[in-house]
Amino acid sequence: MEQGTGLVFQSLRLVEHANPSPAPCSEVRMHELSIVFYMIDTLEEVARQNELTTIQRVTFNLGEVSGVLPDYLVDCWNWAVKRTDVLHDAVLDVVPIAAVTVCNDCGKTYGTVAHGKTCPHCGSPNTVLLRGNETEIDTIEAL
């Protein structure tokens, strides 16, 4: 984006889901569709509050163990934004966030997907997910 041509907003956490109207996404994609509808509601509110006419690009952080499928999310996004004014041609960039767990006994971190809840360093089940469950709007490029 050229300097002076728009605004960039950062870090809007999504903490709940809207109840979407029916759409031509399969049942498997309903979770992703509800997230997209909630994103659109949030983004339209940001646009209203800041007197924005067009949102061009949205960067979305998506945790590896969030349960959200990136391809489905993008498919639902592409369908849903066509039905809005402010987001009509907006591009969704999905940034994957690797899942990392910390062991409370040995203090080491490790990849959650590869090892699950048991620490590969000491064998302890006393672990906590540090990151990788995110679903958040990171940046918005708008006019």
Q: Which of 55, 61, 128, 108 is nearest to 86 (CA)?
A: 55
119 within domain boundaries: no
Average pLDDT over residues 39-59: 96
Q: The tokens of 117 are what?
A: 């809840």
Domain count, the chain: 1
Q: Give residue for tokens 């041609």.
A: 89
- Average per-residue pLDDT for the chain: 86
Comparing CA positions, the residue from 42, 30, 33, 17 lying closest to residue 137 is: 42
Name residues whose C-beta falls within 8 Å of residue 15's C-beta, 6 or more positions apart in sequence: none
Q: Which of 4-8, 73-77, 81-85 has the lowest mean pLDDT?
A: 4-8
pLDDT tens profile 83-139: 999 999 999 999 999 999 999 999 999 999 999 999 999 999 999 999 999 999 999
- What is the predicted pLDDT for the residue at 106? 98
Tell me the pLDDT band of 26, cut-offs 50, 70 and 90: very low
CATH number of the domain enclosing 15 = 3.30.2320.50
43 part of a folded domain: yes
Domain contains 74: yes
List the domain range (segments joined by +) for residue 37: 7-97+133-142
pTM as predicted: 0.77
Report the pLDDT averaged over residues 19-31. 50
The string of DSSP codes covering 80-142 is HGGG-STTTT-EEEEEEE--EEEETTT--EEEHHHHTTS-TTT--S-EEEEES--EEEEEEEE
Q: Residue 115: inside a domain, yes or no?
A: no
**CA 103 – CA 31 distance, rounded (Å):** 31
CB-CB contact of 94 with 135 (8 Å): no
Round the CA-based radius of gyration of the chain to a whole number and report it: 18
